[in-house]
Amino acid sequence: MTLREENLRLSRRLAIVALGMFGFGFALVPFYDQICAALGVNSIVKRSEAPRNTQIDASRTVTIELDANAHDLPWRFRPLVNHLTVHPGELATVEYEIVNLRGAPVTGQAVPSYGPQRAGEYFQKLECFCFTQQTLAPGETRRMPVVFVIDPGLPKDVNTIAVSYTFFEVAGRGGKS
Amino acid sequence: MSAVIDSHGHAHGHDHHHGPRGGIMRWVTTTNHKDIGTLYLWFSFIMFSIGGLMAVGIRLELFSPGLQFIDPDFFNQLTTMHGLIMVFGAIMPVFVGFANWQIPMMIGAPDMAFARLNNWSFWLLPFAATLLVLSFFMPGGAPGVGWTMYAPLTVQMGIGMDLTIFAVHILGMSSILGSINIITTILNMRAPGMTLMRMPLFVWTWLITAYLLVATMPVLAGAVTMTLTDRHFGTTFFNAAGGGDPVLYQHIFWFFGHPEVYIIALPGFGVISQVIPAFSRKPLFGYASMVYATSAIAIISFIVWAHHMYTVGMPVTGQLFFMYATMLVAVPTGVKVFNWVATMWKGSLSFETPMLFALGFLFMFTLGGFTGLVLSIVPVDIQLHDTYYVVAHFHYVMVAGALFAAFSGIYFWIPKWTGRMYDEKLGQIHFWLTLVFFNMIFFVQHFLGLAGMPRRIPDYALMFETWNAISSIGAFGMGLAQLLFLYIVVKCIRSGEPAPQQPWEGADSLEWTHLPTPAPYHTFETPPVLK
């Protein structure tokens, strides 16, 4: 084999490695999802496991403050109550209302955040509109519940949890104008 | 066949029909590894000047608290472009320039394996650089997202972001092609008798660097491609609303980004491993262990990436793994530093400019390595994340590490390249100015970081004023000192004293022992005989 042929063969192999690594970058996407699922991180829009049969801790009350935002989205989005008081371990339901103000169907996804942040893992959602994407017809109004339990393991110094939902538009779906 | 080449690129007295052609077309169409090496070096210097000007702009704004000269948007654009231009435009090409000039001469090959591809690898760069700089003039300006281009900010940027993404694609393409060329040259085109374990260490470090580039640049290309499709084609790789995750971007980016750190550092290690033995007049201590240590650093670099993102909320198990893996890097790096010191032990040292820069490298790079070790500790890092302590750390390894190694290499090889000696006195003044001003800029940033000053913010609390003023004065001084460097190089090319074949008596690789000075346009067309 001449030197030129050897050089070309080696360079082809290296080019295949480079192409493979380009694919590897994309393979990290599903791999990352699997790792997160296996480790139980990144689960804020996943249904919590059904609560074990725990006692309601009537000695404590926790104030839940509700907040709702639509990010760059022509939706009016609000909770029907601004705050409520629950005991840890008690099943509670709140309702939200969204109105699509755009003359076209729009798909959105809600993402929750919590203040203080560490309260998030104790706010167990059994039913939530954030589990799926929501598609609203033009002008449609929809009421949606969130069913939740505060884990009695909530640290004692947390008396108030702010729960804030933000709807983001899912681009490319539901007729982005 | 002695073609003396002056700074204008004309060739004098060539009695050989293979000499370079005249005029600008020589540089556009050249397939000669020495010409291409020169192109890389000058390109790198131009980008170094542009990136340096941006750094001066940043330090000008940070000279005193409050907003004086630059609005916050433009400040963000400056920090972003300073990083991208210095990493991809200055530091990486300067070492590719070294590789082009030196690797064929050091292994006894006539040229690079794919000479035309080599030309193309270089000429991609000016286009990428133009795209990067043009992004400043787009509506919305250049991206102000930081050189790491984190999602989701990248999705919100203007059209300048798209130009930057394409620039990164082109830069990546150039690096991959160049690396394939370098690997093929080193593996297939060594002179008879030049076994792998007889290669100069500079060649070894470049072989390993080229493998790192082939393995990681495509991953970066993938990351910016995902950003591009997220921006324009409705995918949601990094968009939480569509089921994606911005943290995923950080994982993909740093899977590239950490090996990239060693892509920048390893060729510098190679240069230092040539310079220190030459000026100690002793062979390199522990050659084989140097090769293994370099390989070990390269392999470990693939499993430490998440130490850049301890604060994203990963599980403690993950933090522990990445912390221990990161600390492990200190072991092979320690081997290298030990070997460099042991090479000098009982050597007959002399302190010309290349050696001064090599020693500056040794001290400053080790300091940067230590602060890296400090930052690898999770609880400490969570305190120091995104503060000026991190800025100080990576400038110690990037500037006092890679850049000092590049200066050392330029002063070391410029007699061979141009046939002329640089002005030793001015070279030493350049070294001392650079060293003092460098520390003035960055040593004090450790204090700022420990006191909690966040990075990438154009304003700061009043208590940080003194150190910031000192740091900014250092930056202005360092910028001016580099004008002296330009003067030294131009003076050397135009009117330096003619250099002997072996200006450094301790240097023993092929380009010194087998080739006249300056190196002829074509070398080793028949392979040298190695004993």
Flag whether pLDDT at B262 surpasses 90. Answer: yes
Note the pLDDT of residue B162: 95
Write the CATH number of the domain with boundaries A62-169: 2.60.370.10
Name the minimum distance, in Å, from the CA of B413 to any CA of chain A.
Answer: 28
Which residue of A lies nearest to B188 if distances are taken between CA atoms?
A7
Domain range list for chain A: 1-42, 62-169
Interchain CB contact of B233 with A (< 8 Å): yes
Write the CATH number of the domain with boundaries B24-75+111-513: 1.20.210.10
Asked if this assembly's ipTM is beyond 0.90, the reply is: no
The CA–CA distances, whole Å, from B316 to A151, B247, B320, B493 equal 22, 16, 6, 57
Q: Which of A6-20, A46-60, B343-357, B435-449 has the lowest mean pLDDT?
A: A46-60
Rounded to whole angstroms, how far apart are CA atoms B123 and B173? 11
Flag whether pLDDT at A36 surpasses 90. Answer: no
Closest CA to B275 of B222, B179, B217, B344: B344
Highest mean pLDDT: which range of A162-176, B4-18, B64-78: B64-78
A:B CB pairs within 8 Å: 101
Contact call for residues A57 and B276 (beta carbons, < 8 A): no
Answer whether A171 sits within 8 Å of B236, measured CB to CB. yes
Catalytic residue among B34, B59, B307, B420: B307
Answer whether B245 sits within 8 Å of A22, measured CB to CB. no
Q: Which of B180, B218, B222 sits opposite A11 (nearest CB)?
A: B180
DSSP state of B86: I
Interchain CB contact of A174 with B (< 8 Å): no
Predicted confidence band of residue B2 (pLDDT cuts 50, 70, 90)? very low
| Residue B130 CB partners (closer than 8 Å, separation 6+) | none
Interchain CB contact of A11 with B (< 8 Å): yes
Note the pLDDT of residue A43: 66
Predicted confidence band of residue A177 (pLDDT cuts 50, 70, 90)? very low
Contact call for residues A146 and A93 (beta carbons, < 8 A): yes
Interchain CB contact of A155 with B (< 8 Å): no
Which residues in chain B have their CB less than 8 angstroms from residue A108's CB? 241
What amino acid occupies position B94?
V
Predicted confidence band of residue A42 (pLDDT cuts 50, 70, 90)? low
Compute the radius of gyration of chain B from its Cα atoms. Answer: 23
Torsion, CA B465, CA B466, CA B467, CA B472, rounded to 10: 80
Rounded to whole angstroms, how far apart are CA atoms B476 and B481? 9
Which residues is A95 bridged to in the sheet? A145
Note the pLDDT of residue B239: 82
Which residues in chain A have their CB less than 8 angstroms from residue B313's CB? 41
Q: What residue has token string 């509700």? A: A66
Name the minimum distance, in Å, from the CA of B315 to any CA of chain A.
Answer: 8
How much of chain B exceeds pLDDT 90, in percent?
88
| Residue B118 CB partners (closer than 8 Å, separation 6+) | B31, B33, B36, B100, B112, B178, B181
Domain range list for chain B: 24-75+111-513
Note the pLDDT of residue B84: 96
Interchain CB contact of B189 with A (< 8 Å): yes
Predicted confidence band of residue B366 (pLDDT cuts 50, 70, 90)? very high
Which residue of B lies nearest to A13 if distances are taken between CA atoms?
B180
pLDDT in tens, B191-235: 999 999 999 999 999 999 999 999 999 999 999 999 999 999 988
How much of chain B exceeds pLDDT 70, in percent?
96
Interchain CB contact of A126 with B (< 8 Å): no
The CA–CA distances, whole Å, from B84 to B47, B143, B171, B457, B458 equal 10, 11, 11, 18, 19
Flag whether pLDDT at B110 surpasses 50. Answer: yes
Predicted confidence band of residue B9 (pLDDT cuts 50, 70, 90)? very low
> How would you write chain A as a 3-class SS string?
CCHHHHHHHHHHHHHHHHHHHHHHHHHHHHHHHHHHHHHCCCCCCCCCCCCCCCCCCCCCCEEEEEEEEEECCCEEEEECCCEEEECCCCEEEEEEEEEECCCCCEEEEEEEEEECHHHHHHEEEEECHHHCCEEECCCCEEEEEEEEEECCCCCCCCCEEEEEEEEEECCCCCCCC
Higher pLDDT residue, B24 or A53?
B24
Compute the radius of gyration of chain A from its Cα atoms. Answer: 24
pLDDT in tens, A97-127: 999 988 888 888 888 888 888 888 888 888 8
Note the pLDDT of residue A171: 65
Which of left, alpha, beta for B71 (phi over 0: left; psi -120 to 50: alpha)?
beta
B417 flagged as catalytic: no
B333 flagged as catalytic: yes
pTM of the prediction? 0.87
